[in-house]
A and B are shown apart, each in its own frame.
Chain A
Amino acid sequence: MSLAAKTVTQIRQLLKEQKVSVPEVVADQIKRIEEVEPKVCAYRSLDTENAVAQARKLQAQIDKEGYPSDQPFFGIPVALKDNMCSVGQLTSCSSKILENFKPPYDATVVSKLKAQNAVLIGKTNMDEFAMGSSTENSAFVKTCNPYDLNCVPGGSSGGSAAAVAADQAFASLGSDTGGSIRQPASFCGVVGMKPTYGRVSRYGLVAFASSLDQIGPFSKSVEDAALFLEAISGADPHDNTSVDMPVPSYSEEMKKPVKGMKIAVPKEYFAQGIDPEVKAIVENSIKELEAMGAVCEEVSLPHTKYCVSTYYLIATAEASSNLARFDGVHYGYRADGAKNIVDLFSKTRAEGFGDEVKRRIMLGTYVLSAGYFDAYYLKALRVRTLIKQDFENVFKDYQAIITPTSPSPAFQFGAKTADPLEMYLSDICTISVNLAGTNGLSMNAGFTKSGLPVGVQLIAKPFDESTLFQVAWNLEQALDLNCKPNL
């Protein structure tokens, strides 16, 4: 097996034992990227020259002092979604309005990875400003699902998911507002998780919906995801919404057995509209958990049917405000030929934003406008509390929840672009977790007859990612899938 095909844990072991060098790892990673990128197109921008130079420096340090035991990502090439700020690296959110934007500062997660000397090899493609479920809304390139190049990788973190699936990165970071990590993880057959809101700092993540956004890892194994979450978690003085809670050693805690654990199966997530192959694969996972001694029982999350509409009121409202700063004045794209300041604002945004972004800004502006605020925004906030309470009630008696990640496997390009609402509904299983503010993970649980990956979603109590990883790791061992796309 080539180096690029290994997991973070495996590569680190090899580096520790000095069986391979950092430059070898990076070189193999770049070779793999060059090989498959023409087909997959996961990246928006690559920083390979700097990666090679950095690799040499890091190896010199290993030669002198050995592999550092306190920096688990030392020398490991990872990718970042194109909406995370890193100094001097293009960060465009896959939008024309930030096409040439190079931030003057690092996101906190980037600072943490740099402190660990991870190799930040490039930025991955996404739906523009994280608005989408297929990565088809990128203003620049089309990312293809490594398992079927005619299918979408999912979205909005499609590039980050595809890169890991195609071995173009050992791990990557994405962002999840309504499922934008978990759904593409499911479509691409990798592990993807969204931490509890406040677990990871949002400072430096270009905001879509401030009360819903979280940064999370994509990886080839549950263990890698646990390690990655450890590396990026923690309270941040730059982010008032980050929570000061200790960061457990997830990678150790997850290796406990699931015997006796009570897992909830919410009936609303298995109702009509779920693809029968998806349903079968998820039910198989439930059986595997039961075979290991977990107790899986049906429950109800009664306000599930309001999730999608609640989400699209709150998220678009916040987005309409967060994206107002892109006015052509201080940074980013500025339209030519404006006659006055209002013209400058309008032309810049008309030319710089794609259709889906415009659609959501208009919707969000309407939702917050005088006369409609109470009926829509305020009402949505109240329903959100009810959705959160549904989860709190279930977690009184159950340690985890299991559901499909998405009602269908990856769909073909163009299949859902005719009706925006149809696209929105592909988030129906993941959106509730963001509204409730808790954590969720998607992992590969099987394949359809046509070879498309299908993910299963696990959900745990707020700040109980230990339990989340515990269920996931045990299931991963039981399923023992180990599959790679044929590229």
Chain B
Amino acid sequence: MKYQPVIGFEIHTELKTKTKMFCACEVAFGGDPNTRVCPVCVGMPGSLPVPNKTAIDYTIRTSLALNCHINQHTEFDRKNYYYPDLPKAYQLSQDYNILGVNGQMDYEMADGETRTVRINNVHIEEDAGKLVHPDDSFADYSLVDLNRAGTPLIEIVTEPDLRSASEAEAFMLAMKSLLEYIDVSDCKMEEGSLRFEVNISLMEKGADKLGTKVEIKNLNSMRIAMKVIEYEIKRQSRCLDKGEPIYQETRLWDDVACMTRVMRSKEEAKDYRYFPDPDMVPMDITPDWVARIQKELPELRQQKKERFIMEYTIPEYDAGVLTSDKKVADYFEAAVKVSDQPKQVSNWIMTEILRELKNEEDADISEFPVKAEWLGTMVGLIQKGTISGKIAKKVFDGMLKTGKDPETIIKEQGLVQISDEGSIRPIVEAVIAENPDSVEKYRSGNTKVIGFFVGQIMRKSRGKANPKLVNELLAELLNQD
């Protein structure tokens, strides 16, 4: 391609605080419209904002995790514009003395190579409400729901350091993982608690002049985000090839037509008339405060990976896969706690569980039907010999389909492995007696025929014979006389 993509992101994440940014209303998803509101978040005349300290703590935590410089003097600014979902007609945000600036984040490409993106700033602001448009396109009204208005929002702005769609993808996955790791947000893109907006421009390769930047909003899932980026790169390339101008504008993704559309052009670009909010005093983020947040920082991904390798004696590859998503890492540890078999648990997760999750878009292991403790229990039963590895697959599928725990499934389907010699010996003896030709083949050196015997024994025992014991008995009985 003769053009170099130049990509940057703006990320918004709704914080998982108990209450809103400037009032005591509860933060939650859904619910009847306009039921989690008060004079402050509705912007009633005479109401005043009071900042949520936990939200500030989370902003400091995020800034530290992104290696930002923390500005000791920081304050809220008003971003003024009119829109029906913005009750005060201004959003409380930060523009001048922003809390976190000049950071950077490492991320891993698919092949494991580490790259870096610079973080311009991390700041705290409040979310707007929601507009609900009636299905009838001729309706002359829309509905305003302010439940979400005032929810604390952290905004992270990167420098345009990304140079390809694959870098963008790797970056997005890494950012989601980091935010989950520091535990400031639910990071559910489908619920809107994590939102990515991308800025894309193209540059002639070898040139030093940046192209015109296009902003695209509403990337509602990772899958859509990648489609959007790839489409937009193509669209801009075609424009440049044809000599057509690229306008500095805001576009939206149309998932039906599979293209980006114009939302807002530069001519309508707004002057937000930012000025420091006079209703709240500036904040003094002291070094002591920062030190306390630094100490309370949850274990980040790299630390966890290294700990897994040491504590559970699993290979680096496994540790890498398991820690790429904090929820998967937590699942792993919960299962190991029950089973005490880290490598086995890791195998099950990496092969069976992650494959199942991949089939569903943006699936979350915390909603996976097989609970971590159940996996642990199941692996423990394999270890004990109650079930074989092969039977375990049946048990696993059972748990997946029915949502029942492993012991129940084993009981209901009678899957307990037969491990007492007294029950297996007669079966082995019977199979040997019924297949004298195969016995001959074995005794004349064809050891592969053992597989046939095992198969027969398994069939006769309906798969429940303990394979280890079968092999031992076969060896004993075939090698005698």
Contact = CB atoms under 8 A, between A and B. Distances in A.
Interface of A: 83-85, 91, 93, 98, 101, 103-105, 107, 202-207, 209-211, 237-241, 317-318, 321, 324-327, 329-331, 341-342, 345, 365, 368-370, 373, 377
Given A321-B90, A327-B89, A329-B144, A238 B46 contact: no
B78 interface: yes
Given A330-B43, A331-B45, A373-B275, 13 more contacts: A85-B44, A203-B47, A207-B45, A318-B278, A321-B80, A325-B43, A325-B45, A329-B87, A330-B144, A331-B42, A331-B44, A369-B273, A370-B271
Contact of A324 (B42, B90, B144, B281): B90
Interface string B50-86: 1100000000000000000000000000101010100
A103 B45 contact: yes
Given A240-B48, A329-B144, A377 B275 contact: yes
Pick from A83, A101, A325, A326 the residue with the most CB of B within 10 Å.
Answer: A325
B87 A325 contact: yes
Contact of B48 (A239, A331, A365): A239
Interface of B, secondary structure class, is loop
A324 B89 contact: yes
Contacts of A345: 82
A368 B273 contact: yes
B46 A365 contact: no
B44 A324 contact: no
B279 A241 contact: yes
Q: Which 4 A-B pairs have the closest CB atoms?
A: A324-B89, A210-B278, A368-B273, A211-B278
A203 B281 CA distance: 15
A331 B45 CA distance: 9
- Majority secondary structure of chain A interface residues (helix, strand, loop or mixed): loop
Contacts of A237: 50
Contacts of B20: none
A103 B44 contact: yes
A84 B273 contact: no
B46 A103 contact: yes
A29 B47 CA distance: 32
A207 B275 CA distance: 16
A365 B275 CA distance: 11
Interface string B9-49: 00000000000000000000000000000010011111111
10 contacts: A93-B45, A105-B44, A202-B48, A207-B45, A241-B278, A321-B273, A324-B90, A329-B84, A342-B82, A377-B275
A192 B187 CA distance: 54
B305 interface: no
Contacts of B47: 105, 203-204
Contacts of A105: 39, 44, 47
Contacts of A377: 275
A78 B49 CA distance: 29
Contacts of A370: 271, 273
Contacts of B49: 240
A324 B88 CA distance: 7
Contacts of B45: 85, 91, 93, 98, 101, 103, 206-207, 325-326, 331
B279 A373 contact: no
Nearest to B89: A324
B81 to A, nearest CB: 9
B280 A241 contact: yes
A101 B42 CA distance: 15
B89 A325 contact: yes
Residue among B78, B88, B279, B281 with max Cβ neighbours from chain A (10 Å): B279
A477 to B, nearest CB: 38
Contacts of A101: 45
Given A240-B50, A325-B87, A329-B144, A368 B275 contact: yes
Interface residues of B, number: 28
B141 to A, nearest CB: 10
A317 to B, nearest CB: 7
A330 B42 CA distance: 8
B39 A365 contact: no
Contacts of B43: 325, 330
Contacts of A202: 46, 48
Given A210-B279, A325-B43, A325-B87, A238 B271 contact: no
A93 B280 CA distance: 24
A341 B84 contact: yes
Interface in B275-310: 275, 277-281
A318 B77 CA distance: 12
B94 to A, nearest CB: 16
A310 to B, nearest CB: 15
Nearest to A240: B280
Contacts of B281: 240-241
A329 B44 CA distance: 12
Nearest to A104: B39
Nearest to A212: B278
A358 B275 CA distance: 20
Nearest to B47: A203
A238 B50 contact: yes
A206 B88 CA distance: 13
A207 B87 contact: no
Contacts of B87: 325, 329-330
Contact of B82 (A84, A205, A327, A373): A327
Contacts of B46: 83-85, 103, 107, 202-207
A377 B275 CA distance: 9
A350 B44 CA distance: 20
A210 B275 CA distance: 12
A104 B47 CA distance: 11
Contacts of A373: 273, 275
Contacts of A206: 45-46
Nearest to B88: A325
Contacts of A83: 46
A324 B84 contact: no
A91 B50 CA distance: 24
Nearest to A329: B84
A331 B88 CA distance: 11
Contacts of B78: 321
Contacts of A85: 44-46
Contact of A240 (B51, B84, B271, B275): B51
Contacts of B88: 324-325
A205 B279 CA distance: 12
Contacts of A210: 277-279
A365 B273 contact: yes
A321 B278 CA distance: 11
A258 to B, nearest CB: 35
A311 to B, nearest CB: 14
B41 to A, nearest CB: 11
A445 to B, nearest CB: 34
Interface in B254-282: 271, 273, 275, 277-281
B280 A321 contact: no
Nearest to B34: A330
A263 to B, nearest CB: 32
Which of B39, B46, B90, B144 is packed against the most chain A CB atoms within 10 Å?
B46
B404 to A, nearest CB: 50
A101 B39 CA distance: 13
A342 B84 CA distance: 10
Contacts of A321: 78, 80, 89-90, 273, 275
Contacts of A239: 48, 50
A402 B43 CA distance: 40
